[in-house]
Chains A and B, each alone.
Chain A
Amino acid sequence: MNATSSTVQIKGLRDSLLVALTGETWDENQSALLTQIDGRASFFQGARLVLDIGTQALGVDEMVQLRDLLSERGISLWAVLSESPKTEKTAQLLGLATRLSNKSRVEEKRPAAAPVGEDAALFLSKTLRSGTRIEYPGHVVIFGDVNPGAEVVAEGNVIVWGRVRGVIHAGAKGNRQAVICALDLSATQLRIADEVSATLKPQKNPRPEVASINKDGRLQAELWQPG
């Protein structure tokens, strides 16, 4: 399906429309997109939109405005794909998906763009509230709490300087050496690679803990011992 305007390229996916915006500025992109949509209102009506905005950095205000403009036209913004970390963060904050589930081009690109493993880490200085999902192909460090209903999925380790009461999955791609550390580890569920442990008992006087897969291949949490 070819779009008439060169700024806006539209591709049909199985359950959504992938729209790639290639304009220079965001204003240009947004108005080109809205022109396209208003020109073919019936085609877009009720669509689930995946936006690919390349390297452009979008703030919360811009993304919220676009989402509202789309929703007024009966279109739901479902995902935003971007190479800009700022845009990706914004999208995650607004609860939008930032990659497509199967054979996502973003996912294919990622390992090449950011070599993951030893050194790549995402640092978040905030509390993750219910409904927030953070996915990252490296380590994740959170300076704040992980509230119940929030999820963190990392291919590397997860370190939380705060309380964990949500779900944490470390070593998501099968790394059984991954660890999860937190000041208070009363998570609803912890996962490392494919090992799962259900609710850890909440403690009266929380102490820092480290969860890892032990010699018997079971996930276990241990109190952190200094030294």
Chain B
Amino acid sequence: MTAKVVTITSGKGGVGKTTAVANLATALAADGQKVVCIDGDIGLRNLDIVLGLENRIVYDVVDVIEGRCRLRQAMIRDKHFENLFLIPAAQTRDKNAVSPSDMVRVCDELRPDHDFILIDSPAGIERGFRNSIAAADKVLVVTNPEVSAVRDADRVVGILEAEEKYAPALILNRLNPAMVKSHDMLSAADVLDLLAIQLIGVVPEDESVIVGSNRGAPVALEPKSRAGQAFRNIAKRLQGQEVPFLDLDKQDGLWGRLQRLTGGRK
């Protein structure tokens, strides 16, 4: 078994990188994959909160790198899945505590025993981002249908393409089909038109995502959640399966039926 290292990044902050990592990790684990998440946001850690594992942290990734503990000791087992682990970031250090080759070493040590290693990149294009992509086999760029987020995603895609190692794929997060319909929001087509990279998933705006993040129970666990379904589909695509995209904007699609059922806008 040799794990695939997938880095989730975005350029802009607050677009849902950490949420995406928590949900993809949960969905992959639910499919029986052995998964480790690494929080690359040294100094501003929060993947542990979204996964609901905050109170179990003893050692972190910087402890591993600086030799204060063994890798196994820093791996926290998930509450829901015994084949899902988190390696948290250090909260009291900064990005310079880790170097790109440190990340490559940690990932190489994890590779033999796992199927997927998901790395949560910090926002920005500096040291923390460099660390996070150093070991990546695949990079997922998360963006929102907003001009500023798309602009930053474009920058990140440019950097990744320039290095020729990574084929970035796009997760379009928090799309609101009703707003797209009324031309108040960029559509998936608008975003793809500019970024021109492979689309791996569109996640609809869904309040349950926020609730899930606050409770430490990723929405991918909720069978009825639309966003959860979208994340589960992305996880399937990461495993090489062909899954059709959710039909978000057609009225006769599932979303339309859902809207009609709930008496939503036409």
B158 near A68 with CB under 8 A, answer no
- With A60-B163, A61-B164 already in contact, the answer to whether A149 and B154 are too (CB < 8 A) is yes
Give the chain A neighbours of B138 by CB distance below 8 A. none
Chain B residue numbers with a CB within 8 Å of A60 are 162-164
Q: At the interface, yes or no: B161 with Cβ under 8 Å from chain A?
A: yes
Complex interface residues of chain A between 54 and 112 (CB less than 8 A to chain B): 60-61, 64, 68, 71-72, 74, 93-95
A129 in the interface (beta carbon within 8 A): yes
Which A residue sits closest to B154, measured CB to CB?
A: A130
Please report the number of residue pairs spanning A and B whose Cβ atoms sit closer than 8 angstroms: 51
Residue contact A94 to B162, C-beta cutoff 8 Å:
yes
Identify which of B99, B157, B159, B164 contacts A95 (C-beta below 8 A): B159
Determine the distance from Cα of A127 to Cα of B194 in the docked complex, in whole angstroms. 10
Chain B residues closer than 8 Å to A74, beta-carbon distance: 96
Determine the chain A residues whose CB is within 8 A of the CB of B157 once the complex forms: 129
The count of residues in chain B whose C-beta lies closer than 8 Å to any C-beta of chain A is 21
Residues of A within 8 A of B91 (CB): none
* Chain A hits for B196, CB < 8 A: 127
Q: Say yes or no: A71 contacts B158, CB within 8 Å.
A: no
Asked if B111 lies at the interface with its beta carbon under 8 angstroms from chain A, I say no
Q: A71-B100, A72-B100, A147-B194 are in contact. Are A64 and B158 (CB under 8 A)?
A: no
List chain A positions with a Cβ less than 8 A from chain B: 60-61, 64, 68, 71-72, 74, 93-95, 127-132, 147-149, 165
* Contact surface of B with A, Cβ cutoff 8 Å: 96, 99-101, 127, 130, 134, 147, 151-152, 154-155, 157-159, 161-164, 194, 196
Can you name 27 A-B residue pairings with CB atoms under 8 Å?
Answer: A60-B162, A60-B163, A61-B164, A64-B163, A68-B99, A68-B130, A68-B134, A71-B100, A71-B127, A71-B130, A72-B100, A93-B162, A94-B162, A127-B196, A128-B158, A129-B155, A129-B161, A130-B151, A130-B152, A130-B155, A131-B154, A131-B155, A132-B158, A147-B154, A147-B194, A148-B194, A149-B155
- Known contacts A60-B163, A94-B159, A131-B155; can you find 12 more A-B pairs with CB under 8 A? A64-B163, A68-B130, A71-B100, A94-B162, A94-B163, A127-B196, A129-B155, A130-B152, A147-B154, A148-B151, A148-B154, A148-B194
